Amino acid sequence: MPRGARDPLPSGDEARLLTRYEDVRRALSDPRLSREGATGSDAARITDDDSDIFNSPMACTLNAVGHERWRRMLSRWFTAKRVQALRPAMERTADRLLDEMPDHGHPADLVSHLAFPLPVFVICAMLGVPEADRDSFKGWSDTFPSMAKYSRDEVTTAHREFEEYMAALVADKRAAVSAGKAAEGEEDLLSLLITATDAEGRPLSGEALTATGQALLLAGHETTAGFITVMAAHLLSDRRRRQRLLDDRSLARQAVEEMLRFDPSGGFGMIRYVHEDVELGGTVAPRGTTVVCSMSAANRDEDAFDRAAELDVTRSPNPHLAFGAGPHSCLGQALARTEMQAVLDVLLRRLPTLELAVNGAELRQVDGLLTSPPAALPVRW
Amino acid sequence: MKVTVDEARCCGAGQCALIAPEVFDQREEDGIVLLLDGAPGSRVHAAVREAASVCQAAAIRVSETS
Ligand code: HEM
Ligand code: SF4
């Protein structure tokens, strides 16, 4: 693909596609480009409705709050130390889910019984979403990213119901907090955020709290579930790779990074709006250009990674862009990394009894050609 | 080995603190990097180098001169 090609988006608007590592990294970190600008009226749109989460009313509410202020208020819940403290609970949950898998029949699907429920459980526990509500949440979250599968009405309804649910949850928590009823130990993120203030002593508005809850629930599980699936597939499909990791368990961390880098499904890429002329990919992107940063292409750029097309679990250092870069880089990356490491550890511990229940052709698909994480991953034990 | 960090560049996502927790931590209130040890022992040099080279904000500087 030529550098910085101009490509029509599904909406019909044009944007410049960036595929080289250095260009993508620069576009994501350079202050002359912004994500907020990409929701403006003269920016190219990805689709011609507002079902994209970064163009939704939720995203607009968050933009209005002020991104830097919002991020600073939230960062404390996503530090390495905080998420490390959650790791034992993640491993227990993964073990329990695997223990329960035989109850679901044989072969069982690793996606619906491990890769999906684990991140939902982790983010719901963090936010303080009651366990009983998690199933309705699954229905909504299935609807959002599948614009092709559901009608526009269905997507709009799901968005509305999800917002109403979150607004009600925030109201409940606010009532509990102000009545001093938030029981001991009920220190979930949403309850604490109700009374939190920024550096100037201002709290977040009710709408901003609702939008934050929605954003974290959505951001927190879909991608993570996809990556857990891909990781399990890579692990179960290649005996040598598996043995390498069993022989040296300290490789788990690097292995997770390599699965993140290697993923070819990174979605469409991140969009950015150019506020001032900037040189990208050897030419000037004039002010007003919309660029699409393909992280998955960048992560396979031979100029940035030796043998970029090979999955090498010992690769180090591995400065991949799966979590983006710059001021919007994934806030939940320490959490996502820790979830993936916890699952990898648990799988390695249980491996001798766990194997894929699909054949070679399907495996090859899993191992490099897929464009999105497999919808199901049948396993037996 | 001498290590310095640039708080203004840091985006607070904590990759350094996951890789080399002996050397990097994060501020409790906003996740920005905290340098725990500016002259770490050789046992952690590899981890520190890795942290510096994967920090997308280029907020970590390592100088190898003892
Ligand atoms: C493997 C799993 C994950 C991947 C690959 C991933 C990837 C990304 C990427 C690429 C961005 C940048 C968006 C942009 O530049 O416009 C992002 C942003 C974000 N992610 Fe993640 N993410 C993952 C898991 C999570 C988790 C578990 C959470 C926790 C709630 C989370 C929360 C967020 C938030 C809040 C943002 C917006 C940050 C901001 O705008 O400042 N992500 N993620
Ligand atoms: S890796 Fe870099 S950007 Fe991330 S917390 Fe550490 S210093 Fe900050």
In sequence order, the β-bridge partners of residue A15 are A7
Q: What is the mean pLDDT of residues A330-353?
A: 93
* The pLDDT value given to residue A49: 46
Q: Which residues of A touch B11 (CB under 8 A)?
A: 326-327, 329
What predicted TM-score, i.e. pTM, was given to this entire model? 0.91
* The pLDDT value given to residue A139: 72
* The pLDDT value given to residue A190: 93
* The pLDDT value given to residue A8: 60
User: How far, in Å, CA of A127 to CA of A212, rounded?
Assistant: 10
Q: Does the complex come out with an ipTM higher than 0.85?
A: yes
Q: Radius of gyration over alpha carbons of chain A, in Å?
A: 21
Task: Pick A223 or A279 by higher pLDDT.
Answer: A279
- Do A191 and A128 contact (CB within 8 A), yes or no? yes
pLDDT at residue A186 is higher than 70:
no
User: How far, in Å, CA of A244 to CA of A234, rounded?
Assistant: 13
In sequence order, the β-bridge partners of residue A356 are A379
User: How far, in Å, CA of A260 to CA of A168, rounded?
Assistant: 35
Q: What is the mean pLDDT of residues A144-169?
A: 78
Q: What is the mean pLDDT of residues A62-83?
A: 90
Helix axes A80-100, A117-127, angle to 10 degrees: 130
Task: Pick B56 or A3 by higher pLDDT.
Answer: B56
* The pLDDT value given to residue A372: 64
Q: Which residues of B touch A79 (CB under 8 A)?
A: 12, 14, 17, 26, 28, 31
- The CA distances from residue A38 to A59, A85, A275, A301, A340, in Å, are 11, 36, 10, 26, 31
Q: What is the mean pLDDT of residues B42-54?
A: 96
- Which of A24-33, A40-49, A210-219, A262-271 comes out lowest in average pLDDT? A40-49
Give which of B32, B41, B44, B43 is closest to B7, Cα–Cα: B32
Task: Pick A240 or A45 by higher pLDDT.
Answer: A240
* The pLDDT value given to residue A178: 84
Q: Do A316 and B31 touch (CB under 8 A)?
A: no
Show Cβ contacts of residue A270 under 8 Å, excluding neighbours closer than 6 positions: A28, A35, A292, A293, A295, A324, A328
User: How far, in Å, CA of B13 to CA of A74, rounded?
Assistant: 11
Q: What is the mean pLDDT of residues A96-107?
A: 89
Q: Do A337 and B19 touch (CB under 8 A)?
A: no
End-to-end CA distance of chain B: 5
Task: Pick A91 or A268 by higher pLDDT.
Answer: A91
pLDDT at residue A165 is higher than 70:
yes
Please name the residue of chain B whose CA is at the shortest distance from the CA of residue A73.
Answer: B30
For A79, the closest of B19, B26, B54 (CB atoms) is: B26
Per-residue pLDDT of A266-297, as tens digits, reads: 566 888 999 999 999 889 999 999 999 999 99
Label the pairing between strands A33-34 and A108-109. unpaired
Give which of B1, B31, B29 is closest to B15, Cα–Cα: B31
CATH architecture for segment(s) A5-380: Orthogonal Bundle (1.10)
- What is the percent of chain B with per-residue pLDDT over 70, rounded to a whole number? 98
Per-residue pLDDT of A293-315, as tens digits, reads: 999 999 999 999 999 999 999 99
Q: What residues does each domain of chain A span?
A: 5-380
> What is the phi/psi pair of residue A293, to 5°?
-100, 110
* The pLDDT value given to residue A48: 47
Confidence of residue A239 (pLDDT cuts 50, 70, 90): confident
Q: Which residues of A touch B17 (CB under 8 A)?
A: 79-81, 334
Q: What residues does each domain of chain B span?
A: 2-63
pLDDT at residue B35 is higher than 80:
yes
* The pLDDT value given to residue A367: 44
* The pLDDT value given to residue A198: 87
Confidence of residue A11 (pLDDT cuts 50, 70, 90): low
- The string over A295-315, giving b where at least 16 C-beta atoms fall within 10 Å of a residue's C-beta and e elsewhere, is bbbbbbbeebbeebeebbbeb
Ramachandran assignment for A58, one of left (phi > 0), alpha (psi -120 to 50 degrees), beta (any other): alpha
Please name the residue of chain A whose CA is at the shortest distance from the CA of residue B54.
Answer: A319
Q: Do A80 and B14 touch (CB under 8 A)?
A: yes
Q: What is the mean pLDDT of residues A116-140?
A: 85
- Beta carbon of B21 within 6 Å of any ligand 2 atom: no
pLDDT at residue A3 is higher than 70:
no
Pocket test for ligand 2, best of B5, B7, B19, B33 (most atoms within 8 A of CB): B33
Confidence of residue A369 (pLDDT cuts 50, 70, 90): very low
* Mean model confidence pLDDT for chain A: 84
**Domain B2-63, CATH:** 3.30.70.20
User: How far, in Å, CA of A68 to CA of A376, rounded?
Assistant: 38
Q: Which two tokens stand for residue A217?
A: 């629930």
